[in-house]
Amino acid sequence: MNRVGDDAVIVLKSRDEKLRNGDAQYRYRQDSDFYYLTGFNEPDALLVLITDDQHQSDVLFCREKDPDKMIWDGPMVGTESAVSDYGFERAYYINEVDQRMPGFMQDRERLVFKLGEDESFDSKISQWVKNIEHRKGQKSRAPDEFVSVNPMIHDMRLYKSAAEIRCLKKSAEIAVKAHQRMMQACRPGLFEYDLQAEYLHELTRHQSQPSYLPIIGGGNNGCILHYINNNQPLRDGDLVLIDAGAEFDYYASDITRTFPVNGRFSARQKDLYAVVLQAQKDAIAEVKIGNPWNKPHQIAVKTLSQGLLDLGILSGSLEQVLEEKLYQQYYMHMTGHWLGLDVHDVGDYQVDDLWIELEKDMVLTVEPALYIGEHTEAPAEWRGIGIRIEDDIQVTPKGPQVLSSGLVKEIDDIEHIMNN
């Protein structure tokens, strides 16, 4: 409310429930922005924040407690508890929203909401605005400035509070346990989905669920960036790349490890793995207050490129590899992204063509990789190896804090955990 200033009304809507097929629902998951401002986890809700020069106030519209519905679906929050437990100043039934909203909006100069994200909500908003204008016998004014709420909330979400950091840590710890479990369960002859089952088992017993579809790719499948089929056999002598995170209390972790299916890296796998691991360490070291967003990426690309040259997978000079972006055939994505309520969290990376500078309590991933796919021009003996190593990092005045540091990534440590 401080950010929008006086004389504004902010309106935010909950995420709708969605059918998966027939009459079966997807598990409900609140809209991240709505949850960020409310902690309220039900559909059919509307948050209204009102500012004038005197004071700021907040209102929640939510479902009426319906005894019949509660027989089927269990408890609902209801307006009373919205005030007493959630701390909203006022709460009203959502079925009164059309009648009450014009009153909240009238005489406010600015209307702040998610412009153009939901057609039916946009038309509701225009209806409410119209109904202000049509109120008879009143000298009420409709907002004449329409502002997008996204940049404000998304900028706020970039800086994590202590409570958010606790959730992110917890979600990283759960994912760490799940990855450990997969490492320990892995052996030739299993299928990729057998590891997925271990992962889901560990998440479920920590009241967590996947923060995105897990990628579990053996051999060349590790080179397919968005591989989600996870249905192929894990072969002796191959690596398996696992990108799998947890969501805990709405906050995401995002961790990738790559390890040998049989518990022992081959010499060649070791060489390539060592390059990616070094690139990740070099990049993490650059997660420092004041560094531009892309500094870790630049450093990672440099280490990866030098490694590709040293191993004879690329040829030429380092300058040439960087200049002509020759590394891109084996490393085609950025080295990380913001992390928070969403796995690819909101927040700018650039403003006016300038990279954002890293600041205290931003949280990001660092995930360099090398994908020597079977159809690349690499020498044949290297093909079919995909390696990515990804951790979740908090920017702090003391330097990078690795939230996922509980998970091994050194070659010896991985082999140890897999064989003991």
* Residue with token string 């051999």: 219
Asked whether the beta carbons of 51 and 21 are under 8 A apart, the reply is: no
Is 297 an active-site residue?
no
The distance of closest approach from Cβ of residue 156 to Zn ion in the complex, given in angstroms and rounded to an integer, is: 22
Question: For Zn ion, which residue has the nearest CB?
Answer: 254
Which of these, 99, 62, 67, lies nearest to 79 by C-alpha position?
A: 62
Q: With contact defined as beta carbons under 8 Å apart, do 340 and 160 qualify?
A: yes
Catalytic residue, chosen from 141, 187, 205, 344, is: 344
Question: Pick from Mg ion, Zn ion, none: which does 202 bind, CB < 5 to 8 A by kind?
Answer: none
d(CA 245, CA 403): 12
DSSP E strands: which ranges in 348-398? Answer: 350-351, 354-355, 363-366, 369-372, 385-388, 391-396
Which partner from the list Zn ion, Mg ion, none does 164 bind, CB cut-off 5 to 8 Å by kind? none
* Active-site choice (3, 135, 333, 383): 333
Q: At what angle do helices 162-185 and 192-204 cross, to 10 degrees?
A: 140
Rounded CA-CA distance 154/149 in Å is: 9
Q: Which does 282 bind (CB under 5 to 8 A by kind): Mg ion, Zn ion, none?
A: none
Q: Is 390 a catalytic residue?
A: yes
Chain positions contacting Zn ion, by CB under 5 A: 254, 365
CB 253, min distance to Mg ion, A:
9
Among 164, 243, 282, 286, binds Mg ion (CB under 5 A): 243
Question: Which DSSP symbol is given to 119?
Answer: H
- Catalytic residue check, 371: yes
23 belongs to the catalytic site = yes
Neighbours of 120 (CB within 10 A): 9
Nearer to Mg ion, 247 or 415 (CB): 247
- Residue (102 or 336) nearer to Mg ion, CB: 336
Is 31 marked active-site? no
Rounded CA-CA distance 260/226 in Å is 20
Which of 192-200, 217-225, 237-245, 352-360 is the region at the interface with Mg ion (rule: CB under 5 A)? 237-245
**Catalytic-residue membership of 201:** no
How many helices and strands, by DSSP H and E, does the chain display? 12, 21
Residue in 33, 388, 391, 415 annotated catalytic: 388
Shortest separation between residue 243's beta carbon and Mg ion, angstroms: 4
Q: Give me the residues that bind Mg ion (CB under 5 A), please.
A: 243, 254, 390
Which residues are tagged catalytic?
Answer: 23, 226, 243, 254, 333, 337, 344, 367, 371, 388, 390
